[in-house]
Structure 1
Amino acid sequence: MHTYREVLALPEFRVLFLVRCVTMAAISIGSLALGATTYASTGSPVLTALSMFGGPLITLLGSATVLSASDAMGPRRASTIMPIAYSVAFLLQALPNLSWGLRFAILAMPFLAGSATSGSFMRLMHEILPPDGFVLGRATLNIAVGVMQVAGYGLGGVMLVWLSVSSLFLVAGATMAVAVAALRFGLRERPGVASDKGLLTRTRDANRALLGSPTTRPVYLALWVPNGLIVGCEALFVPYAGHSGAGYLFAATAAGMLLGDVVVGRFLPPRHRDRLVGPLRMLLALPYLGFFFAPPPAIALACGFVASIGFSASLLLQERLVRVSGPDSRGQAFGLYSTGLMVGQAVGATIGGLLATWLGPAYAMGALAVASLCSTVALAPGLRRSAPAPDHTTIAH
């Protein structure tokens, strides 16, 4: 598969695309609303960053114990669990006069509910698409993420001018309910993977194999660490630029991510893909060094846009993950990636909030960029083990 028309010609993939669009719009609007109300009530960069990006820390418990449910359950059923919890959580956040502690407890709901099934959506996509359509299909879903983050954060910033925060939460909750309906009625169910091992044992054994392998471990770290540190920069947009300015910064970074995914997924020849993993990871961090100088809004927008093009390196690393993981544990492999990515983002946001408390948002963003560059350089030797062989044969663990 080489064109968007080919992947979107598949009816079930069109449903996945719709679900991704609706889900990201809801999460963007709800996240901006939560960040705005937390900063308004606490004035704390740390709590604001945690409110927007800290929820994934909760998924660590499920990933360590029941993540193999991503393979054991039917993927359609598993994929609806987190959207249902998100819808309920956003509607609860709309209640007036909630303390920030209670808001954080509600924030935990979708992450607790989805911690066992975070790889199911990617498993669905892998089963719907033919093998040669993975990168383009993943890029197409990332386009949905980029477009709807631009729309969601931009619309959320405008809505915050005219509407209350509670209204934004209601919009987000209703939008997420649409995603649940599309999954339930737009996809056929597929069987889970049978196993004679218990859920806890299977989860433990697969996690140990994936994280213990000298081939897959560097891929995971390269997917988690540089990204998470740069998300720490994004978590400081509200303290750096204020509520309305942060919406534009989030929209600019989402647009940059969209451009990178389009170029890498649609136009970059397969033979050149792996050569760009390192350069794209460097691009992800370099523009944020400019924040050491506290740039004005226009320059800040440009820096965020250019840097986010580097997120497209994740497409290439996910392609490696498909190649080096087995079909019986692919849901868990991607669930582990998803959990680690979100946890890395949460850790990055926490570090960013702490640094901003001591140094201010601008210097904190520059420091996180330096750390991201260092991690990219340190991980380069280990990534050579998962690089495709000259004849593109599968690499064994």
Structure 2
Amino acid sequence: MGARLPGRHRRASERQATYGEVVAIREFRALWYGQGLSLLGDQLAQVALAVLVFNRTGSPLATAAVYALTYLPSIVGGPLLSGLADRFARRRVMIVCDLLRALLVAVMAVPGMPFAALCVLVFFVVLLSAPFSAARAALLPEILLGDRYVAGSALQNMTNQAIQMLGFAAGGAMIAFMGPYRALALDAATFLASALIIVSGVRRRPAAGRTDGSKPSMWTMTRAGASLVFGDRKLRTLVLFAWLCGFYVLPEGIAVPYAAQLASGTTLPVPVITGLLMAAMPTGTVIGALLFSRFVSPSGRLRAMGWLSMLTCAPLIVCAMRPPLIVVLALWILSGIGGAYQLAANAAFVQCVPAERRGQAFGLVQSGLMAAQGIGILIGGFAAERLGPEPVVALAGISGVTVAAVLAMMWTESRGDIVARVRAQAAA
């Protein structure tokens, strides 16, 4: 017992930041409010598009394809455009992206807009999210230092998931009254509001690029960022942990056909069941982030990453037994709770990446993450056409648990110096 006391004492001395500390920071509040507003509009738009496509086609593949369209543009332009967050002032990048997205979504909201044109506009709206997200992710560690970054990330993550939960759960009912075009108009207004909040709440900073004044090409920056992220074993493992979400986000992409299967055992209409299913994982993520950030020490979060990553996928395997709606919701909520491991992975990633290269690094990770989700959803829709939604969700769970177990072993071998660094910072 005596030999283990020092280790326990070090863990007990790790200071954890509070939510009150981070909310008191004006710039964080601006990023927090702006992100929340635009995300709320996006959820309404996603539900509207998914229900519209399924009603027109009755095809799980077509529904999943349109849902995947909100992820796939990152494959095309994300890695290149993310470098803008290091090349130009990050505040300016965020404002310009918000204004351009507001304009594009406003065009989408014109009644009678052809469906093909809507898909093209969605593509470019999502494409602009790459530099915006990279700039915001790179700016946050400059505003929140030490464990405040984890607390702020957790609060932002919980808020985002709560907004998704609200948007998805209420979206089906609201679309019945508002119609899809009004939902898109509301989405455009949220982008404008986000830009105004960033203008008023985030102070100007110079670009984080090179101090010698040189401006390498976007292609050169992309290659350098890829070399940084994938050339280091720890960073590579952390990136793969982030991309694991391609497995456990798959059920959201086939939520409409899954809801159609479940509707026979309940009096609820398909749009309402769809909203409940799409809200289940965000609900679990809110719970998991709250517990993980408030009751687990900074170093304990890093040690728990492997187990929690497996928890994100394991409950999905039970869907093979075709349980009723209430059980499916419980399983998906449990999966969302496991997703709290992403907080620790994100904090560890920040520890390992130089500040002046965070925009490109975060952008590459975010682009791959979006691509993994889009490809997973597209494959899920294709498979659901042939096997049905329940077996496809279960197969995603089996595959995800297998990959997560391998990553957990890799992380155990390489996490030592990061855990020591986090302990030292938290105890300071």
Q: TM-score, normalised by structure 2?
A: 0.87
Q: 1:182 offset after TM fit, Å?
A: 0.9
Q: 1:22 offset after TM fit, Å?
A: 0.8
Give 1:74's match in structure 2, choosing from 63, 86, 89: 89
Q: What letter is aligned with 1:87? A: A
Q: 1:206 maps to what in 2? A: 225
Q: What letter is aligned with 1:325? A: V
| Partner Cα separation in structure 1 for residue 131 and residue 25 of structure 2 | 28
**Aligned with 2:206: secondary structure?**
coil
Q: What letter is aligned with 1:65? A: L
Matched, 1:280 2:295: no
**How do 1:1-397 and structure 2 match up within 5 A?**
2-195=17-210, 196=214, 197-224=216-243, 226-241=244-259, 242-389=270-417, 392-393=420-421
Q: What letter is aligned with 1:19? A: G
Q: 1:391 offset after TM fit, Å?
A: 6.9
Alpha carbons 1:69, 1:117 under 8 Å: kept: no
**Aligned with 2:233: secondary structure?**
coil
| Partner Cα separation in structure 2 for residue 389 and residue 94 of structure 1 | 51
Alpha carbons 1:62, 1:116 under 8 Å: kept: no
Q: 1:26 offset after TM fit, Å?
A: 1.1
| Partner Cα separation in structure 2 for residue 12 and residue 116 of structure 1 | 19
Q: 1:99 offset after TM fit, Å?
A: 4.0
Q: 1:63 offset after TM fit, Å?
A: 3.5
**Aligned with 2:72: secondary structure?**
helix
Alpha carbons 1:214, 1:385 under 8 Å: kept: no
| Partner Cα separation in structure 1 for residue 30 and residue 131 of structure 2 | 22
**Aligned with 1:389: secondary structure?**
helix
Q: Which range moved further: 215-224 or 171-180?
A: 171-180
| Partner Cα separation in structure 1 for residue 294 and residue 396 of structure 2 | 31
Q: Residue 124 and residue 209 in structure 1: after superposition, are their counterparts in 2 closer, same or farther (change >3 A)?
A: closer
Q: What letter is aligned with 1:252? A: A
| Partner Cα separation in structure 1 for residue 166 and residue 107 of structure 2 | 23
| Partner Cα separation in structure 2 for residue 31 and residue 348 of structure 1 | 17
Q: 1:257 offset after TM fit, Å?
A: 0.7
Q: 1:390 offset after TM fit, Å?
A: 8.0
| Partner Cα separation in structure 2 for residue 44 and residue 230 of structure 1 | 22
| Partner Cα separation in structure 2 for residue 83 and residue 361 of structure 1 | 36
| Partner Cα separation in structure 1 for residue 238 and residue 328 of structure 2 | 30
Alpha carbons 1:29, 1:152 under 8 Å: kept: yes
| Partner Cα separation in structure 1 for residue 246 and residue 394 of structure 2 | 14
Alpha carbons 1:90, 1:173 under 8 Å: kept: yes
Q: Which range moved further: 35-44 or 64-73?
A: 64-73
> Where does structure 2 lack aligned partners over 5 or more consecutive residues?
1-15, 260-269, 423-428
Q: Provide Cα deviations, 1:145-173, integer angstroms capped at 9, x if missing partner.
A: 01111221122122023231222222222
| Partner Cα separation in structure 2 for residue 173 and residue 154 of structure 1 | 21
Q: 1:319 offset after TM fit, Å?
A: 1.2
Q: What letter is aligned with 1:206? A: G
Q: Provide Cα deviations, 1:60-110, integer angstroms capped at 9, x if missing partner.
A: 233343432111111111123443343334333333344443221111112
**Aligned with 1:191: secondary structure?**
coil
| Partner Cα separation in structure 1 for residue 76 and residue 45 of structure 2 | 24
Alpha carbons 1:81, 1:114 under 8 Å: kept: no
> Where does structure 1 lack aligned partners over 5 or more consecutive residues?
none
Q: Provide Cα deviations, 1:308-359, integer angstroms capped at 9, x if missing partner.
A: 0111111111111011111121121111121111111111111111110110
Q: TM-score, normalised by structure 1?
A: 0.93
Alpha carbons 1:81, 1:113 under 8 Å: kept: no
Q: 1:284 offset after TM fit, Å?
A: 0.6
| Partner Cα separation in structure 1 for residue 224 and residue 377 of structure 2 | 30
Q: What letter is aligned with 1:142? A: N
Alpha carbons 1:287, 1:303 under 8 Å: kept: yes
Tell me the percent identity: 27
| Partner Cα separation in structure 2 for residue 304 and residue 289 of structure 1 | 11
| Partner Cα separation in structure 2 for residue 300 and residue 319 of structure 1 | 31
Q: 1:295 offset after TM fit, Å?
A: 2.0
| Partner Cα separation in structure 1 for residue 419 and residue 169 of structure 2 | 45
Q: Provide Cα deviations, 1:167-220, integer angstroms capped at 9, x if missing partner.
A: 222222222221121112221121112332333212211212212322211211
CA RMSD, 1 decimal: 1.9
Largest Rg, 1 or 2: 2
Alpha carbons 2:94, 2:131 under 8 Å: kept: no
